[in-house]
Amino acid sequence: MHEGMYPVAKDGLIILLIFFKMTLLEFFFIISWIIILILALDIAKKQKFNALHFLVFIWIGWWLLMFSFFPDILLSIWKIFWTARWADVLVYGAIIFLLYFVLLLLAKHVENRESITALIREWAISNSSKKIIDGREVFLIRVFNEEKVLKWVIKNIIDKWYKNILVVNDWSTDNSRTILENIPWLIVVNHAVNRWWWAALETWFEYIRRYAYVKYVVTFDADGQHDIADYSKYLKAFKKDDSLWVVLWSRFIMKTNSNVPFIRKVTLFLGRFFTMLVSWIFLTDAHNGYRVFTLESIKKIRLTIDTMAYASELIEEIKKHKIKLKEVPVNISYSEYSMNKWQSSWNAINIAMRILWTKFFR
């Protein structure tokens, strides 16, 4: 039965082509146009249509119709692009079309990652103590397997009489969580999955927006490389200029006691110019870990990027909201322990690509 149906279907297609006086390629164009039209209407109905998608679908649908009913147009296009055959034009067009859909899939992947992170963040805050933070400042520490230095870092902050410490335990698998639980006055928010620095930063910010009444918000590393004594420099900068909302660290604004490896200096040097070209903000130190924000700036800044490119997104947000910033020199002490936790310098390429993608293709 199935063997007999195939010749019938084939003969029916041939009769249809003869009746409408079209080639098999023209028939393929028309069917493709109908499918694209149905997809476009379906996406529009679901209200997931943006301007770029609309233009792409209209452009593709238009040319499919033109090729179907006016096939001689292909000959003209063939001459314009200096291709050996008119069919080559279609191949090149198909490649561009496929590249467009690859970019759409990439955008969907990025959107899914960011949605997962947002879900983990909301779960973490909802299941925290929701303790109100009151005082002049709050120190933010992200912890991921820091049992070797964690007690020492927290003790250094406490010894300077800074009482407010908000910790994001980023799903540590060592003894870090137990250490944190044995310090009862700490405020700890636990990520159910390890989401790294970028997610921790927005988790802190969201917690602070809901439960904090402070003047300054300080991001501080848990690996022991930041010097708590440098915090006084940030306070002096704010005291000197009450219009400041953000103060960032700099290892290069003047000579400091910072043992930055040479390859790291080169990477950061290039990062300065990339940040200037993309954001039109010149910083002497592109990616900053030791930062102090006013509460007003935290309420405006929103971070979504789910990679190390978050640091550049932060600068973009500062520019977007016209937030005044300043850099201060700090002392950074890199140990073998802290350097082993670094990302590779080659990851700077991935960061640059992600920044360009976010700025121009989203």
Confidence of residue 85 (pLDDT cuts 50, 70, 90): low
User: Could you tell me if 247 and 325 are in contact, meaning their C-beta atoms sit under 8 angstroms apart?
Assistant: yes
Both tokens of residue 153? 């870092």
Mean pLDDT of 37-61: 66
Beta-carbon contacts of 232 under 8 Å, excluding residues fewer than 6 positions away, are none
Confidence of residue 361 (pLDDT cuts 50, 70, 90): low
More confident residue, 218 or 270: 218
d(CA 272, CA 277): 9
pTM: 0.77
**Nearest CA to 293 among 356, 246, 350, 229?**
246
Considering the domain 132-361 in this protein, what is its CATH number?
3.90.550.10
Confidence of residue 242 (pLDDT cuts 50, 70, 90): very high
d(CA 261, CA 344): 13
Mean pLDDT of 113-139: 95
Mean pLDDT of 214-229: 96
The number of beta carbons lying within 10 Å of the beta carbon of residue 85 is 10
Q: What per-residue confidence (pLDDT) applies to 34?
A: 74
User: Could you tell me if 283 and 327 are in contact, meaning their C-beta atoms sit under 8 angstroms apart?
Assistant: yes
The helix/strand/coil state of 171 is coil
- pLDDT at residue 7 is higher than 80: no
User: CATH 3.90.550.10 region(s) of the chain?
Assistant: 132-361
**Type of residue found at 54:** F
d(CA 298, CA 319): 14
Mean pLDDT of 349-356: 70
Helix (H) or strand (E) holding 207: helix 196-211
Both tokens of residue 103? 């970019």
Both tokens of residue 333? 């002490």
Q: What per-residue confidence (pLDDT) applies to 159?
A: 95
pLDDT tens figures, 86-115: 556 666 666 666 776 777 777 788 888 999
User: Could you tell me if 361 and 289 are in contact, meaning their C-beta atoms sit under 8 angstroms apart?
Assistant: no
Helix (H) or strand (E) holding 311: helix 310-320
The helix/strand/coil state of 187 is strand
More confident residue, 214 or 45: 214
β-strands 212-213, 165-169 pairing: unpaired
pLDDT tens figures, 243-296: 999 999 998 887 766 767 767 677 767 777 777 777 778 888 877 889 999 999
Please provide the average confidence, as pLDDT, over all residues in the chain: 81
d(CA 185, CA 166): 10
CA dihedral defined by 238, 355, 304, 165, rounded to 10 degrees? -40
The number of beta carbons lying within 10 Å of the beta carbon of residue 278 is 18
**Nearest CA to 251 among 329, 150, 334, 172?**
329
